[in-house]
């Protein structure tokens, strides 16, 4: 039998990882902007991907047959973690000087 507290602990851990990766991405983007290594393309991407991710999540939540607040929260955190992790990896690659 599953312990409901385990699901909430997983949600807490995933939320923490989302927060930590988000802070890393914000730091990398801010550093790139301040040092002149950022690009207009990256700045536009930063804004448009947020709008796109929010719209996609709204559609997922509206059509997902959600059965509980916990499942809704898990779905939202997973949705954003995929994108933030991809950004962290992409921004971590070596940039030309």
Instruction: State pLDDT tens for residues 51-94.
Output: 999 999 999 888 887 778 888 999 999 999 999 999 999 999 86
Is the pTM higher than 0.95? The answer reads no
Instruction: State pLDDT tens for residues 7-54.
Output: 889 999 999 999 999 999 999 999 988 898 878 888 898 899 999 999
Contacts of 28 (CB under 8 A, 6+ apart): 88, 91, 92
Predicted confidence at residue 81, as pLDDT, reads 95
Q: 4: pLDDT confidence band, cut at 50, 70 and 90?
A: confident
d(Cα 2, Cα 20) in Å, to the nearest integer? 28
d(Cα 82, Cα 88) in Å, to the nearest integer? 10
């Amino acid at each position: 039998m599953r312990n409901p507290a385990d699901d909430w602990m997983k949600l807490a851990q995933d939320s923490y990882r989302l927060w930590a990766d988000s802070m890393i991405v914000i730091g990398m983007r801010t550093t790139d902007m301040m040092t002149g290594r950022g690009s207009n393309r990256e700045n536009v991407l930063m804004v448009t991907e947020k709008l796109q991710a929010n719209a996609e999540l709204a559609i997922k939540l509206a059509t997902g047959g959600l059965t509980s607040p916990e499942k809704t929260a898990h779905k939202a955190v997973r949705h954003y973690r995929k994108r933030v992790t991809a950004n962290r990896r992409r921004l971590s690659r070596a940039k030309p000087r």
